Structure 1
Amino acid sequence: MSISANEVHGAVQILTQSSDTLFLLLGAIMVFLMHAGFAFLEVGTVRKKNQVNALVKILADFGVSAVAYFFIGYWVAYDANFFSSAETLSAGNGYELVKFFFLLTFAAAIPAIVSGGIAERARFYPILIATFFTVGFVYPFFEGIIWNGNYGVQSWFESTFGAGFHDFAGSVVVHGVGGWIALVAVIFLGMRKGRIRAGKHTNFAPSNIPFLALGAWILSVGWFGFNVMSAQSLNGISGLVAMNSLMAMVGGILAALVVGKNDPGFIHNGPLAGLVAVCAGSDLMHPIGALITGAIAGGLFVWLFTFMQNKTKFDDVLGVWPLHGVCGAWGGIAAGIFGQSALGGLGGISLTVQILGTVMGIVVALIGAGLVYGILNQFVGIRLSEEDEFKGADLAIHKISSINED
């Protein structure tokens, strides 16, 4: 029995669709696993009386994020919803459903980033409400502009400057926006009690370096799903993205090692700084450009976090503003520098547009977060009472300690 050309074509198409669905599903699972990295990074950094809260916040935030993104955020960003029949939704092996899962893990990174900045003194349910609105409205508004061409901004960039804003895996769209949202939340919450003693800044030591390191390792491994699988299909997979992610990570490690003077907290955040920065241009840069991008990010994180903790009243517990906000912004700009063909990149990018798009992301994050956290702070309050903060969020909110003293 002969097989027609149409049958062969159909079989190949089904195989391609199924392969792309599986590819993206694996990426979604890897990025979902990164949320465990966020959790353990925070658990290892906060004091012991706040460890349970760190774990619970990340998981609860993910649940709220999923609902907000399913019903509102995905529609805001991509003008798509899931109110069709299951038969319609599962067409094409359910690729669009897995795509939602993948993009949800990106969206849920926003509150996971914020969580590290506001640790140890934030109320539980008001912060979950903030998560709903930032994931449902603020983040997808900018996500849709950059990754779906909403409101004609990308078209205007292309017609005016010859190139759109390029952010392959979210240096600005995810990390930058998350980091600048976190800065606003940190400002509204103020400093933790006991940080200023006799007129001088006091820094609380990390409670568990092995947990902090575990979180950094989980995030670093998952990041290759975050970056490489942003291609969203097997046909688009790029070894260059993997190589650039690796080199930027290494650059961040080495810079944090030197600038951070062997401090284990800095060394384990160094690779994360490099990976944040390379997301935008990982598909364009030469590996040497990625190495430089990561090294600058690693040094920038150490310097800024040290300055914040010792010289300012911005009490950013995990340093998420310098790590995600500033290094994310640097990544958007770095793509416009090292993505140029003159510097070994693939070209087709505009530094002017990269700067403009990065500033736009910061502005959206600041205004959106100002509204969300400002309104919540005004009407319900977002900070624990002084007594509850002294007891610790574990006992005050969850009525249990991370350590059984019996």
Structure 2
Amino acid sequence: IGKFAPDGTPRDIPPHNPWFAVIGLFIIYTGFWGFYAACNVPIIEFNGLWTATTIYGTPTTLSTITFNFLMSLAGGLLAGYMLSKGNSFWTFSGGLGGIIAASAGNDLYHPLQAFLIGIVGVWVAYNLHYWVERKFKIDDAVGAVAVHGYAGSFGVIIAGFMLWGYPAVADGSVTITPWGQIGGAIIMFVVLGFIPTYIVARILKALNVLRIPHEVELAGLDYFEEETMASDGQAIVDAEMAEAN
């Protein structure tokens, strides 16, 4: 049982319900577009003109971010489908990975750039996911680290090269550079992501709560949770009956 065989070979454990996984990812797409649009700050002038800026004060438009959002989604879906040979989980996770990979420059990319960055970002995430799994025996069960971490870090770094010299703030006093983006990726992924997570995981492992018990693995987590809920419910019923009598 478990993700890894006795010789360390990783086993493929498919989603419990692929349909729910796909529906959930579509809901995430919708939420992502919502906060993409919400990151724009509307500016309404007295003469009735309406425009928008990013959270950094640089100009953008809703049509720009929407089109780039859809193009990066399309690139990610295509890459996920091709790399996984049609696996539904990776196809639609690829869509999310494509969006995330192009997020850092969503307001500045040409649509074709967003599409290609979505493709390459998912290629990076997919291959790093399985390399880390084989090399370090780390089980990224739902691909969250791959989609958000690997694709996201790639997206932050590639923006430094694709958008080198573009203003990072409204007055142009700071520009986008590869070094700044690489530094940001290291801070976000390593300093704020990996190190705290590793420390917490080691603490949970020392307390013996990082992994479910062996007997629960044998019985199945769903069965165990349902039995526990049934037992709790029966205890409540018994208590109410005793009180009534």
Q: TM-score higher than 0.5 here? A: yes
In structure 1, the residue corresponding to 2:105 is in which secondary structure? Answer: coil
Q: 1:358 aligns with which of 173, 177, 185?
A: 185
CA drift at 1:250: 0.8
Is it true that 1:245 corresponds to 2:66 in the alignment?
A: no
Structure 2, unaligned stretches of length 5 or more? Answer: 44-51, 54-60, 167-171, 231-245
Q: How many Å separate the matches in 2 of 1:209 and 1:375?
A: 33
Q: Matched residues, percent identical?
A: 28
CA drift at 1:213: 1.3
Is it true that 1:396 corresponds to 2:224 in the alignment?
A: yes
Equivalent residue, structure 2, for 1:337? 161
Contact residue 247 and residue 288 of structure 1 kept, 8 A = yes
In structure 2, what residue type is equivalent to 1:388? V
Q: How many Å separate the matches in 1 of 2:88 and 2:216?
A: 30
CA drift at 1:254: 1.3
Cα separation, partners in 2 of 1:208 and 1:397, compared to 1, 3 Å: closer
Cα separation, partners in 2 of 1:282 and 1:199, compared to 1, 3 Å: closer
Equivalent residue, structure 2, for 1:286? 110
Cα separation, partners in 2 of 1:380 and 1:261, compared to 1, 3 Å: closer
More off after superposition, 376-385 vs 257-266? 376-385
CA drift at 1:380: 5.6
Which has the greater radius of gyration? 2
CA drift at 1:197: 5.5
Equivalent residue, structure 1, for 2:139? 315
TM-score calculated relative to the size of structure 2: 0.73
Cα separation, partners in 2 of 1:194 and 1:336, compared to 1, 3 Å: closer
Cα separation, partners in 2 of 1:197 and 1:272, compared to 1, 3 Å: same
Contact residue 281 and residue 339 of structure 1 kept, 8 A = yes
1:68-147, aligned counterparts within 5 Å? none
Equivalent residue, structure 1, for 2:242? none
Cα separation, partners in 2 of 1:240 and 1:194, compared to 1, 3 Å: closer
Structure 1, unaligned stretches of length 5 or more? Answer: 1-191, 402-406
CA drift at 1:239: 2.2
Equivalent residue, structure 2, for 1:45? none
Contact residue 297 and residue 330 of structure 1 kept, 8 A = yes
Is it true that 1:204 corresponds to 2:7 in the alignment?
A: no
CA drift at 1:353: 0.2
Q: How many Å separate the matches in 1 of 2:97 and 2:75?
A: 9
Cα separation, partners in 2 of 1:380 and 1:241, compared to 1, 3 Å: same
Q: How many Å separate the matches in 1 of 2:31 and 2:120?
A: 22
TM-score calculated relative to the size of structure 1: 0.46
Cα separation, partners in 2 of 1:376 and 1:232, compared to 1, 3 Å: farther
Matched positions, count: 207
Q: Deviations over 1:144-188 (max 9, x none)?
A: xxxxxxxxxxxxxxxxxxxxxxxxxxxxxxxxxxxxxxxxxxxxx
Contact residue 195 and residue 203 of structure 1 kept, 8 A = no
In structure 1, the residue corresponding to 2:107 is in which secondary structure? Answer: coil
Q: How many Å separate the matches in 2 of 1:397 and 1:357?
A: 41
Cα separation, partners in 2 of 1:352 and 1:302, compared to 1, 3 Å: same
Equivalent residue, structure 2, for 1:259? 83
Contact residue 18 and residue 89 of structure 2 kept, 8 A = yes
In structure 2, what residue type is equivalent to 1:215? G
Q: Deviations over 1:287-343 (max 9, x none)?
A: 12211110101222332334345565111111222211111101111221222469x
In structure 1, what residue type is equivalent to 2:199? L
Q: How many Å separate the matches in 1 of 2:92 and 2:28?
A: 10
